[in-house]
Amino acid sequence: MSRWDGLNRRKFPRVNYPCLVVINQSDGSPNDVILTHTENIGIGGVCVILKQAVAMFSFVKLELDLMDLGNHIKCKGKVVWSVRRKNEMEKKPSFYDLGIEFVELDIKDQARLEEVVKNLVKNNKQSILS
C-alpha cells in the first residue's frame, strides 16, 4: 500500500469544487490568516493548497465561500494530514496539500454543503474522489 492509498480512504466522498477558504490559525504567528482555495471538498472536510506548512492535528477557524450566493460557512477544523508537493525548481516556494476535517459544523451549514456535494456528484460523475 502506498502512502496515498491510506489518505484516499475517506468516510465521505469528495468532489473537485473550487471555493475560497480563509484559514485562521489563531496561534499568534505572523501568517495567522491564510487566504486559499479548495482542491476538493466533501461533507467531512476539505483539501486546500498552501505555501506554508501547518502543524498536524492543530485546530483552525475556517470560512468557506461555496460560491452559491449563500452566506459563508464558518466552523472550526482540524488538520488531519499534510503532504509537501515535490518542488521542481529550487528558487520557487514549496506547496502543501492540507486535509482539514470539519469540527463544530452547524447542522444547517452541513445540510447546505451536503446538497452542493450531492448536486456535483449527480451532475458530474468524473469529479468524485474516493
User: pLDDT by residue (tens digit) across 40-77?
Assistant: 999 999 999 998 888 999 999 999 998 888 899 999 99
* Domains parsed from the chain with CATH numbers: 3-129 (2.40.10.220)
Q: Which of 52, 33, 46 is nearest to 77 (CA)?
A: 46
pLDDT given at position 5 = 44
Least confident of 56-65, 83-92, 115-124: 83-92
pLDDT given at position 7 = 47
The overall pTM is greater than 0.85: no
pLDDT given at position 29 = 61
pLDDT given at position 1 = 37
pLDDT given at position 2 = 39
Task: Scan for cell 471555493, then name that residue.
Answer: 19
Q: Note whether 21 and 48 are within 8 A (CB).
A: yes
